[in-house]
Amino acid sequence: MPNHLIHETSPYLLQHADNPVDWHPWNAETLQLAREQDKPILLSIGYSACHWCHVMAHESFEDEAVAALMNEHFINIKVDREERPDLDQIYQNAHYLLAQRGGGWPLTMFLAPDGAPFYSGTYFPKQARYGLPGFPGLLLNIAKVYKEKRNELAAQSQQLIAALSAWQPASSTDDIVLAAAPITLAVQQLKHDFDDLHGGFGGEPKFLHPAELDLLLRQAYAQHDEAARHASLYTMQKMALGGLYDQLGGGFCRYSVDAQWDIPHFEKMLYDNGLLLGLYCDAWLSSGDPFFARVVQQTAGWVMREMQSPQGGYYASLDADSEHEEGKFYVWQRDEIRNLLSADEYELIKPYYGLDGAPNFENHAWNLRVSKPLSELERILHLTEEQASMRLASAQAKLFAAREKRIRPGRDEKILGSWNGLMIAGMAKAARVFGRDDWLHSAQQAMDFVRDTLWQNGKLLATHKDGKTHLNAYLDDHAFLLNAALELLQAKFRSADMGFAVQLADALLARFEDSINGGFYFTSHDHEALIQRNKSGQDNATPSGNGIAAQALLRLTTLTGDMRYAQAAERCLKLFFPAMQQAASQFSSLCTALEAALQPPSLLVLCGTEKETAAWQAAVSAKYLPELMIIVLTGKQTNLPSPLAKPNSALTTAWLCRGTQCLPPISGLDELLAELA
């Protein structure tokens, strides 16, 4: 018989609906059941693309004997961390305090019926190994301690909840004066942590750090800092040459288990790829290197091919596993590749992908990564650049076609507001930079879906699947979608996107801002009461919601002239400013917002005939100008805010404003480019 998850829409929860464990979703009824039965809660948090979540499920949650122990002693709750990031944040923080080390997924928490945690871990094996206790024995020990030491556990839980509260930033004070010192410090810290051999920051495992790479590239431009520029571009180059990147199909995996970017955990997440799309556009603009343009093209192609629903919204992720093996869809045997290719193609591919060396994955398999640059192989094999490129493209096409016949990883087809915001922004930026109408149409379709489906009765909801839209939206949903609307407006102005941007910004201020102390809570004022209400400014796998909210509100002020948005952004920055002065690189997205507060974004408004303004827009968009917002108008729009309301003219005209200074109208493209330079 299925358990209580059978009526959920989350693919992750549905994966566990037939477990012998009596799983419940997190809701008021389940929490009441724990109180009535006076049982501790076993809370398991994961997500559908997570490899070790699958391992623990197969070992323990599908085992009748383990399930019997869980059902006898606990109320068992399964949570999809992608649907309930509020719970995941709280209990990851609690795990850090309890275990004195970082968390991850699966996250295994033991709670009192009121939700207060008293013991935690991540993956537990069925039999003791890896220095971890066996899960069945652990369950019996936890149940025994809970019965015999309730008072001690309750006192410990109260201390932990107090410690969680102490982690929240103190109230901001009016005497704080914003200054650029944290930006300078963040760049120094990132350059210090930079791995100058392999790129990235620190050692293994290696994560993507998009907010940090963005800050470095922006500051390289602003301060003429060649070391910062090298750290950002070299990292992006190494990431895209490695096995972290899908060399055949495009798109990045979540992180690399090694320092060289060779072997990833193979799940592909929408959020990573949305952030990296925009970042690789900037790498192309900053460097002119066609390698970065190819990464954008491949990744955008993967998004449209594999991650966009027929209704327009973008799906959440692809699984790490297929056929119960991690990476099986992506890795190759050497003979398999040799048999698919001509002798000439294999002669190139063998050294290009490192097939002439030792296997780099399990079962004597290869995960493809670029081992020798094409320019070197041209010289060794006596090929012209064109010959080598054609041979490589032909071989890649054959390998991709063969791979398409394999059993595919599972796809999590829920549509999340926050992650759609990140991908819409990435696709819209790529469309503007590369002049791709198909990418723009993809981004507009996704935004239209979000606006029509997730925005209901003046309120944003978090997730949609199988015709059901539900759950209170979080700070990240509002901030990331506001940022996406601003990117879309710069690719092609639509009044609906402008209106939605204002609605989202107003909701941010009304439903999430701490108007007294500054900053934005992760959950809205009418959200379910939990043991902690987070207000975080630090970046994680995704940029901080506070950081993106502050950036977007400052840019929206530039478009609308409404100072409420800038004032809220400034209150946010003042709240986090003391923490930024201590550990600035952990607040990279807020550092980017700080720069915009100290030096407001420039605004370029173009008006004229569609053909000519498109040419002007393309010329400007081909330059790396991170502080510039560009809006193209036809003269037919109505009810525009004052910064955009320009007089009609027979000639194509540019209006350029920098901060509080606006230049006279510009009627020549060369004059405009000279002014921007």
Residue for token pair 């060396």: 357
User: Among 49, 43, 44, which residue's Cα sits nearest to residue 12?
Assistant: 49
Query: Which residue's structure tokens are 């750090």?
Result: 209
State the chain's mean pLDDT as an integer: 96
| CA gap 281, 300 in Å, rounded | 11
Task: Give 58's DSSP letter.
Answer: I
Helix (H) or strand (E) holding 356: none
Q: How far apart are CA 491 and CA 294, in angstroms?
A: 20
HEC string for 265-301 = ECCEEHHHHHHHHHHHHHHHHHHCCHHHHHHHHHHHH
H-helix segments, 120-209? 135-148, 150-166, 181-193
Residue 355 pLDDT > 80, yes or no? yes
pLDDT digits (tens, 9 = 90+) for 212-233: 999 999 999 999 999 999 999 9
Helix ranges restricted to H, 50-149: 51-56, 64-73, 85-99, 135-148
**Ramachandran bin of 115, using left for φ above 0, alpha for ψ from -120 to 50, beta for the remaining angles:** left
Q: What is the dihedral of CA 489, 492, 493, 494, to 10 degrees?
A: -100
Q: CB neighbours of 376 closer than 8 A, spacing ≥ 6?
A: none
By DSSP bridging, strand 628-633 and strand 602-607 are: parallel
pTM: 0.96
CB count, 10 Å around CB of 200?
30
What's the pLDDT at 172? 63
Residue 638 has pLDDT above 90, yes or no: no
Q: pLDDT, tens digit, for every residue of 157-195?
A: 999 999 998 888 987 666 899 999 999 999 999 999 999
pLDDT reported for residue 1: 81
Domains delineated in the chain: 4-166 (3.40.30.10), 181-323+412-598 (1.50.10.10), 330-405 (1.10.10), 602-676 (no CATH)
Q: Give the type of residue at 27.
A: N
Mean pLDDT computed over 545-550 = 98
Q: How much is the pLDDT for 659?
A: 81
3-state SS, residue 488:
helix
Q: What is the pLDDT of residues 279-316, one digit of tens each?
A: 999 999 999 999 999 999 999 999 999 999 999 999 99
- Residues whose CB falls within 8 Å of the CB of residue 669, separated by 6 or more in sequence, listed in order: 615, 616, 619
Model confidence at 649: pLDDT above 90: no
Neighbour tally for 235: CB within 10 Å = 25
In tens, the pLDDT along 615-634 reads: 999 999 999 999 999 999 98
User: How confident is residue 457, by pLDDT bands cut at 50, 70 and 90?
Assistant: very high
Q: How confident is the model at residue 660 (pLDDT cuts 50, 70, 90)?
A: confident
Q: Which of 131 and 415 is assigned the larger pLDDT?
A: 415
Non-local CB neighbours of 27 within 8 Å, separated by 6+ positions = none
